[in-house]
Amino acid sequence: MTSQTLAELAGTPGVAARDAATHDFVFNHSMLRIKDPVASLDFYTRVLGFTLLRKADFEQAKFSLFFLALIDDLAVVPADPDERRQWLAVQPGVLELTHNHGTETQDGPVYHDGNSDPRGFGHICISVPDVRAACARFEDLGVPFQKRLSDGTMKSIAFIKDPDGYWIEIIQPTPIA
Amino acid sequence: MTSQTLAELAGTPGVAARDAATHDFVFNHSMLRIKDPVASLDFYTRVLGFTLLRKADFEQAKFSLFFLALIDDLAVVPADPDERRQWLAVQPGVLELTHNHGTETQDGPVYHDGNSDPRGFGHICISVPDVRAACARFEDLGVPFQKRLSDGTMKSIAFIKDPDGYWIEIIQPTPIA
């Protein structure tokens, strides 16, 4: 592992200077398809602390979208649905879950987590103040682990799995004592 | 489509009250595997305006990680690599790209975008101040589109494709005039 300066990073092959036309661009959300919204909303709200901030139902096309974010101070969220939608569209760190109606009644897993062939998407990551405390709580809640802190060589990160089997990395910003 | 109040959203089946143990949890990043870091870094920095803020090379395990974010004011980014790493771990809206060394010399696509069988991950989304201006610039830059603004029934959103074919939704927060 190496620790580059910002100048070294800016000189990495491929890296270009920022075009002023991209100012105010926001990495707003990542979208995952889910089998069962009741299971996924329970997981993301109860286990991880997300708040459901928008739901859109497309009855004719038979799908629903759920937008969630980790918001510590709900007072910042506009009550008016239109205002809230505009506010939500400029927040970074939003999770969009897509439910194609009817998948919840199918047997077994419906979606592919991206970590076996064909690979692509890998995981989402939640940063927590205390990764040991967070993982102990996940154990208490019966959350499945892909990798416990004690597994493998990287003792400071864990991976849990959401109801569809998507991997969620758990990290803490500071070194583990 | 429906526009729910926050109380209605909180009453959606599956949604649980927030556990205080989840305070200060941050949805930090989403990880995508990439075939060629030169192509992907060029795309995410030059076309979308991301800044490369951390690179980690694992020579023995033959992979590298690239962490990027959309940062309008680079003065907020710590210069010291350790401080920057800790700062980056509590930011929302970070993109992690994983390069397994050697894939860049393979012919054709290496990774699966998640939008054909087996499906799962769908897309990431960038919010822009002016979706028409952004899409006109993407056309000028020769960026491939999955869906132009004029395609289909949803005239306010577009989807472009990154060098691996991952879909990137482009939205603007306000209604299109």
Digit-coded pLDDT (tens) for B6-55: 999 999 999 999 999 999 999 999 999 999 999 999 999 999 999 999 99
Residue A55 confidence (pLDDT) above 80: yes
- CB B36 within 8 Å of CB B103: yes
Chain B: residue whose CA lies nearest to A60: B1
Query: What confidence score (pLDDT) does residue B177 get?
Result: 75
Query: What confidence score (pLDDT) does residue B2 get?
Result: 61
- CB A121 within 8 Å of CB B34: no
Q: Tell me how many residue pairs between chain A and chain B have CB atoms under 8 A apart.
A: 292
Chain A: residue whose CA lies nearest to B112: A120
In the three-class reduction of DSSP (H, G, I as helix; E, B as strand; rest coil), residue B21 is classed as: helix
Which residues of chain B neighbour A76 with C-beta distances below 8 Å?
none
- Split at pLDDT 50, 70, 90, the class of B1 is low
* B136/A contact by beta carbon, under 8 A: no
Residues of A at the annotated binding site?
96, 123, 169
Task: Please state which CATH number belongs to domain A122-177.
Answer: 3.10.180.10
Chain B: residue whose CA lies nearest to A59: B1
Report whether the peptide linkage leading into residue B118 is cis, meaning its omega lies within 30 degrees of zero: yes
* B73/A contact by beta carbon, under 8 A: no
* A62/B contact by beta carbon, under 8 A: no
Query: What confidence score (pLDDT) does residue B42 get?
Result: 98
Cα Rg of chain B, angstroms: 19
Chain B: residue whose CA lies nearest to A126: B27
Residues of B at the annotated binding site for Zn(2+)?
96, 123, 169
Nearest to A92 among B4, B93, B171 (CB): B93
- Residue boundaries of the structural domains of chain B: 26-111, 122-177
In the three-class reduction of DSSP (H, G, I as helix; E, B as strand; rest coil), residue B140 is classed as: helix
Sign of CA pseudo-dihedral A115, A120, A126, A130? positive
- Tell me the two tokens of residue B133: 């201006």
Query: For B104-146, how does the pLDDT look when each residue is reduced to its tens digit (9 = 90+)?
Result: 999 999 999 999 999 999 999 999 999 999 999 999 999 999 9
Which residues of chain A neighbour B161 with C-beta distances below 8 Å?
none
- Tell me the two tokens of residue A175: 């070194």
In the three-class reduction of DSSP (H, G, I as helix; E, B as strand; rest coil), residue A44 is classed as: helix
**Residue B104 annotated as catalytic:** no
Quick one: which H or E segment has residue A120? none
Please answer yes or no on whether B49 and A19 come within 8 Å at the CB atom.
yes
- Split at pLDDT 50, 70, 90, the class of A177 is confident
Please answer yes or no on whether A25 and B93 come within 8 Å at the CB atom.
no
Rounded to the nearest angstrom, the minimum Cα separation between A100 and chain B is: 12
- Tell me the two tokens of residue B43: 């795309």
Sign of CA pseudo-dihedral A40, A43, A48, A50? positive
- Tell me the two tokens of residue A6: 């910002």
Residue A1 confidence (pLDDT) above 80: no
Instruction: Supply φ then ψ for residue B84, to 5 degrees.
Output: -65, -40
Quick one: which H or E segment has residue B137? helix B131-140
Give this prediction's pTM: 0.97
Which residues of chain A neighbour B58 with C-beta distances below 8 Å?
1
How far apart (Å, rounded) are the C-alpha atoms in residues B138 and B134?
6
Query: For A95-132, how does the pLDDT look when each residue is reduced to its tens digit (9 = 90+)?
Result: 999 999 999 999 999 999 999 999 999 999 999 999 99
How far apart (Å, rounded) are the C-alpha atoms in residues A51 and A40?
12
- Split at pLDDT 50, 70, 90, the class of A2 is low
**C-beta atoms surrounding B141 within 10 Å:** 13
Nearest to A33 among B66, B122, B172 (CB): B122
Tell me which residue of B49, B51, B95, B43 sits closest to B74, measured CA to CA: B51
- Evaluate whether B26-111 and B122-177 have a shared fold: yes
Whole-number percent of chain A with pLDDT over 70: 99
How far apart (Å, rounded) are the C-alpha atoms in residues B156 and A149?
44
Q: Which of residues 1-40 of A touch B (CB under 8 A)?
A: 1-6, 9-10, 12-19, 21-33, 37-40
Q: Which of residues 152-171 of A touch B (CB under 8 A)?
A: 164, 166, 169, 171
Please answer yes or no on whether A23 and B49 come within 8 Å at the CB atom.
yes
Query: What confidence score (pLDDT) does residue A103 get?
Result: 98
Task: Please state which CATH number belongs to domain B26-111.
Answer: 3.10.180.10
Tell me which residue of B110, B165, B36 sits closest to A12, measured CA to CA: B36
How far apart (Å, rounded) are the C-alpha atoms in residues A163 and A34?
8
Residues of B at the annotated binding site?
96, 123, 169
